[in-house]
Structure 1
Amino acid sequence: MHGAPTPTPTWDPRQYLRHSGHRTRPFLDLLARIPEPPAHRGTTRIADLGCGAGNITALLAERWPHARITGIDNSDAMLHTAREHLATLPAGRHTDFVHADLTDWVPEEPYDLIVSNAALQWVPGHTRSFPAWTRALTPGGTLAFQVPGNSDAPSHALLRELCASPQWRDRLGPAGRRTLDVLPPGAYLQHLAGLGCEVDAWETTYTHVLQGEDPVLDWIKGTGLRPVLTTLAGDPAATEEFLGAYAALLRAAYPPGPHGTLFPFRRVFVVARKDG
């Protein structure tokens, strides 16, 4: 039904982590541009928004081993995996995890760094949260994030077309019409500069080389397909039919080459440092 609310996607940590090497590289590029937290008495406080399976939280703990890091996510499955993963960190690392929805998350204490890796695209109107998030930064603190900027790529365009086809549009409803909320780098710069931040905003297109059968489908099953797979859960026949049709479209758009399947992927980066 077109008036029904969009279902909250069910996340699969194992599927998401199948391409963790490619997915982690953009965050490493972001991390290299994040300045050191402001020097002050007390423990450095970091919030990891949309922490997912905790692989990014672990990288934050590796760079700032004495910081208190809070991972925030709305997926119980992801948080369970994150807690298991972070339990293997050396003694003395201070991490905890909170179940919350970034749509209405408001910091309850000051932070020296608020960071997010490939999560804000799922939060419609996330720029409306920037004033509250930057107010929560300590003087000299940083808000840093990266989001995928590939909504016009064949992988996403073909998915939208298939979801809107007569066979699937009524069955999928809002899940089939869900779009990612991502702005150009310049728009993010304007938002955050207007809040008194010194902003570095840029974009990068990565050319990932994927291996295996239907590798682009395998990638998207961990992210962009989650709303569709959640809606079709419980109907294996429909799920198989949809995935078969989508896989055929992706094979034509991303044919395998002699070294693997090339998958260009644009991402948008922002590092905003609060005055102080």
Structure 2
Amino acid sequence: MAVSGPIYADWDPARYGAFRDLRLRPALDLLAQVSELPSGDVVDLGCGDGAVAEALATRFKPEHPLIGVDASAAMLERAAARMTQWANPLYNSLTRADIALWAAETPPALIFSNAALNWLPDHASLMPRLAGMLAPRGVLAVQMPRQEAAPSHRLLREVAEQLFPGRFPVAPSPVLRAGDYAGMLLPYGEVRAWTTEYLQMLDPVLQGHPVRAFTESTAMRRFVQGMTAAEVADYVSAYDAALAESYPALPDGRVRFPFTRVFFILERS
């Protein structure tokens, strides 16, 4: 969920969790495609606040210990609190680590990553490295947004450049096409890869555009954290106005928000 280091401030679990159902559905769709596992741990890589923990624990425990890994102290604190809500803790352990550098102590049965690896660069090196950690017949299951060309994300860049030319250069998204992941991982075993566009219906919000309410806890963070309060106000106002043109409100105030996600599952031979 989070990458350590000075580039990213810590995450806001409350804002991120405001769209829990929409963010959880792709994780459950990914999990439904995971077949039987060999012996070993199940690793929730980029676990965030533990949103997927219940589903993973229900599916794989007690045969497979469940390990949560994330770089965000705020998210892990929320995940730890979630553990106390159950008679049997969902996670066997939680580890704070930069998921770009994390390495398993023993070969995992499953590395499951939901909307986390899109924050890391160099997928041509990252994905084979994760695949190489797996136990024989182990599984790497990954879901990532691929939304950079959509207005929700493209306008973040365009508005920043219009208001503050040259101040907020943003590297291209590292997320590739589904077929690219299949090609890079085929040497490790059987790969299934696909793309899904979710038509999300966003309810009206008290202030601003509903799509901004969705992006402000994720993609928008890397822009506004480098601005003053006055600059943030100008930026948000301009972004809201641009979103209103790309995502007009329906008569009931809701907006249609198509969102594209890439999935792949590697079953290591």
TM over 0.5: yes
- Residue pairs, 1:26-37, within 5 angstroms: 26-37=26-37
Poorly superposed stretches of 4+, deviation over 3 Å: none
- For residue 213 of structure 2, what is the amino acid of its counterpart? D
Total equivalences in the alignment: 260
| Alignment match, 2:81 | 84
- For residue 266 of structure 1, what is the amino acid of its counterpart? T
- For residue 244 of structure 2, what is the amino acid of its counterpart? R
In the superposition, relative to structure 1, how do residues 229 and 58 fare at CA in structure 2: closer, same or farther (>3 Å)? farther
| Alignment match, 1:63 | 59
Structure 1: give runs of 5+ residues left out of the alignment. Answer: none
1:72 Cα deviation from its structure 2 partner: 1.2
With the length of structure 2 as denominator, give the TM-score of the two structures. Answer: 0.91
What SS does structure 2 have at the residue aligned with 1:34?
A: coil
| Alignment match, 1:52 | 48
1:92 Cα deviation from its structure 2 partner: 5.8
From 184, 201, 209, the equivalent of 1:209 is: 201
| Alignment match, 2:224 | 229
- What per-residue deviation string (whole Å, max 9, x for no partner) do you get for residues 3-26 of structure 1? xx9722431110000001011111
1:229 Cα deviation from its structure 2 partner: 2.8
From 183, 197, 215, the equivalent of 2:189 is: 197
| Aligned-residue CA RMSD (Å) | 1.8
Worse overlay, 244-253 or 63-72: 63-72
**Distance in 1 between residues matched to 2:11 and 2:172, nearest whole Å:** 17
1:161 Cα deviation from its structure 2 partner: 0.7
Q: How high is the sequence identity, in percent, across the aligned residues?
A: 35
From 104, 125, 142, the equivalent of 2:101 is: 104
From 152, 156, 161, the equivalent of 1:155 is: 152
1:127 Cα deviation from its structure 2 partner: 3.1
1:93 Cα deviation from its structure 2 partner: 4.3
**Distance in 2 between residues matched to 1:63 and 1:125, nearest whole Å:** 31
In the superposition, relative to structure 1, how do residues 82 and 153 fare at CA in structure 2: closer, same or farther (>3 Å)? same
Structure 2: give runs of 5+ residues left out of the alignment. Answer: none
1:94 Cα deviation from its structure 2 partner: 4.3
What SS does structure 2 have at the residue aligned with 1:140?
A: coil
| Alignment match, 2:247 | 254
What SS does structure 2 have at the residue aligned with 1:182?
A: coil
With the length of structure 1 as denominator, give the TM-score of the two structures. Answer: 0.89
1:125 Cα deviation from its structure 2 partner: 0.7
| Alignment match, 1:240 | 233
